[in-house]
């Protein structure tokens, strides 16, 4: 009878181990529940996740480099635009100074008080246009050129 109980116990043990689900995780499943093939599947899944994460990281790094290059390009364009704007402002100030000098010459050479007053009026107009920052530098320069043509005409008449 004892032999029968031992045999029955052994059969129950075999039946339990045969019916248990196997796992690839060595921390679960015990001695009979661990499966080498499932462990390899588990390792392959983890390696695939790592490879996917590395690919994603590489893509993110590539995008970062592209954005940095665009940022540097934009910074160079901004610096070039600022430099061009500063040159244009210096040119406008030089144009303004030359016209103010011409109005001074016209005022000194004016034969009548009315023409001297007109020279002072042009000087005020020149300074007002040059100070109008709501207008672009090109617009202010164009308006000053129109006044310069009038001044040059007046200077030509005054010298005759």
* 44: nearest Cα among 24, 59, 26, 27: 24
- pTM of the complete model: 0.60
Residue 23 has pLDDT above 70, yes or no: no
- 3-class SS shares of the chain: helix, strand, coil, % to 5: 85, 0, 15
Instruction: Give Cα separations from 74 to 71, 86, 87, 120 (angstroms).
Output: 5, 18, 20, 45
- Report yes or no: 147 and 118 within 8 Å, Cβ to Cβ: no
E strand spans, the chain: none
pLDDT tops 80 at residue 91: yes
Residues 34-43, mean pLDDT to the nearest whole number: 84
Residues in the chain: 160
| The pLDDT value given to residue 145 | 96
């Amino acid at each position: 009878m004892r032999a029968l109980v031992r045999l029955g116990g052994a059969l129950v043990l075999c039946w339990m181990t045969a019916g248990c689900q196997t796992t690839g995780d060595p921390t679960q499943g015990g001695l009979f529940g661990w499966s080498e093939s499932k462990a390899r599947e588990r390792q392959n899944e983890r390696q695939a996740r790592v490879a996917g994460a590395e690919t994603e990281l590489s893509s993110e790094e590539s995008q970062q480099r592209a954005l940095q290059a665009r940022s540097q390009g934009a910074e160079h364009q901004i610096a070039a635009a600022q430099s061009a704007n500063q040159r244009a402002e210096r040119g406008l100030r030089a144009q303004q100074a030359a016209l103010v000098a011409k109005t001074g010459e016209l005022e000194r050479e004016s034969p009548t008080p009315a023409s001297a007053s007109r020279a002072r009026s042009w000087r005020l107009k020149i300074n007002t246009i040059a100070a109008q920052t709501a207008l672009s530098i090109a617009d202010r320069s164009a308006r000053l050129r129109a006044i310069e043509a009038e001044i040059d005409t007046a200077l030509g008449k005054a010298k005759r």
